Amino acid sequence: MVTKVTWHVVVLALAATPLLGDELHLKGGGRVTGEIVQETETAVTVDIGAGKMTVPKSSVVRVDKSASPLQQYRAEAASLAPEDIEGWRKLGRWAEGQGLTVQAREAFSKVKANLPDDPEANRVLGLILLDGHWVTEKESYTSRGYVWFEDEWMMPGERQAILDERQSREDADRQALDAQIEADQAAQAEEEAREDAERNIWTGPLDNLDQIPAYGYGPVYWPAQPGNLPGSSTWRQE
């Protein structure tokens, strides 16, 4: 009951006199909300809860003061005793609703420190109940024989099937490529042989000129013999 009253008092106090946070409006419409922890002539460093972000001043259009969930969380956390289980639970739920993931985990770690088997705290901390014990996701899967492969948990047999199928496709692609290269080489050799054959027709030996067929009329030697004119029945080429 005391914890419940304390929580409402703090929330009402924050609502009545809100702690100011810092909101940086950036060129292009972006915003960074948190608490300015350092400022120089060229840059502004903001604690956004999950870490610190440094923004060049040249990218900042203006800075507005507004209620900061991060500062509210810190003020409330500073007022809670380590053993205040329900106070940390409510603060953790509130932090989750505000998108303060790191702070929510911090609050629920306080709950787990007092109640190791608390389901809500273990869930927020990413733990899984396995055989009566809260373990990490990795411990849960590995204990059941799963392996991590390409951003996914799966059984070794599934992993091997994927690798085998992938290897089979690679082998088929390689064989197809080899066959295509062989076919291209054969076609090229055939084309070169044809070109060589055509070239040999004109560059081969001319030893048997009398075997080359003559087309049309051959040379006429003058003076021609009577009756030995081209076109006559007795014409004979000398």
Interatomic CA distance for residues 219 and 222, integer angstroms:
10
CA distances from 199 to 189, 190, 207 (A): 15, 14, 18
- Give the burial string for 46-60 (b: 16+ CB within 10 Å, else e): bbbbeeeeebeeeee
Tell me the β-bridge partners of 133: 130
Q: What is the pLDDT along the chain (238 residues), one digit of tens a residue?
A: 333 333 333 333 333 333 446 778 898 888 887 778 788 888 988 887 778 889 998 898 888 766 678 888 998 999 999 999 999 999 999 999 988 999 999 999 999 999 999 999 999 999 999 989 999 989 999 988 999 999 999 999 999 999 999 999 999 999 999 999 999 999 999 999 988 888 887 665 655 555 555 555 555 555 555 555 555 555 555 5
DSSP character for 58? G
Q: Is 132 exposed, middle or buried (0-12, 13-18, 19+ CB in 10 A)?
A: exposed
Instruction: Using a cut of 0.85, tell me whether the model's pTM lies above it.
Output: no
Give me 110's structure tokens: 């306080």
Q: Tens of pLDDT along 97-144? A: 988 999 999 999 999 999 999 999 999 999 999 989 999 989 999 988
Interatomic CA distance for residues 128 and 141, integer angstroms:
10
On whether the CB atoms of residues 112 and 125 are closer than 8 A, the answer is yes
Q: Tens of pLDDT along 215-226? A: 555 555 555 555
Interatomic CA distance for residues 110 and 121, integer angstroms:
9
